[in-house]
A = this chain, B = another copy of it.
Amino acid sequence: MFQKQKRHSELPPIRQTAEEFTVVDGESYLDEIFKSDMGISRSFSRFQLSHEEYEENYGRVIRGLLATGKHKFFVAVDKYGRYLGHVWVCLKIDTVDFVPSAYIYDIETLFPGIGIGSALIERAEEWARKMGTMKISLRVDVNNPARKWYSEKGYSERAIIMEKLL
């Protein structure tokens, strides 16, 4: 399906091919997904961690999340199968409503504004619906402009995560 045999130097720049993306199962892209996410997530931490500490803690968090629930990954790829973005969704019993629910643990796109995020979130919702869940949730930082984007996608604000530094 994908022309993976081509050397990367022979392919057109990824920005040019990104607009004709497709969304496919992401399980064979996990290395790429977590490598991308590990870089992005680091910028959200407000604590000074050494590279080693961060990598170790990141690995522990991911393994902890993967240990419970049923997980599904989708990726957006260009026609050469190159990674453009991903969504990670997990099924669990919700801790507030006590019904089967889906959580979007992560959604990322390398190229915002061309519909990759929309296609990924729709695919995640479609999968969650098919799996029999009654709702889908996600967490977003209070200052993240994505709040508006999620709201346009039909998400409403349900709860607040409050925190105190010790």
Tell yes or no: A8 within 8 A of B by CB.
Answer: no
Interface residues of A: mostly helix, strand, loop or mixed?
mixed
Give CA–CA (A157, B155) in the complex, Å.
19
**Chain B residues with CB under 8 A of A99:** 45, 47, 49, 57
> Which one, A17-25, A63-71, A111-119, is touching chain B?
A63-71
**Pick from B41, B67, B138, B160: contact of A139, CB under 8 Å:** B160
**Chain B residues with CB under 8 A of A68:** 64, 67-68
**Pick from B46, B47, B97, B134: contact of A44, CB under 8 Å:** B97
Closest approach, in angstroms, between the C-beta of A121 and any C-beta of chain B? 9
Closest approach, in angstroms, between the C-beta of A133 and any C-beta of chain B? 6
Closest to A146 in B: B162
Tell yes or no: A79 within 8 A of B by CB.
Answer: no
Closest to A121 in B: B164
Closest to A125 in B: B166
**Chain B residues with CB under 8 A of A125:** 164, 166
Can you show 27 pairs from A to B with CB atoms below 8 A apart? Answer: A45-B96, A45-B97, A46-B97, A47-B134, A57-B99, A58-B98, A61-B93, A64-B68, A64-B93, A65-B95, A102-B166, A125-B164, A125-B166, A128-B166, A134-B166, A136-B163, A137-B164, A139-B160, A140-B162, A147-B160, A154-B164, A156-B162, A156-B164, A157-B160, A157-B161, A158-B161, A159-B161
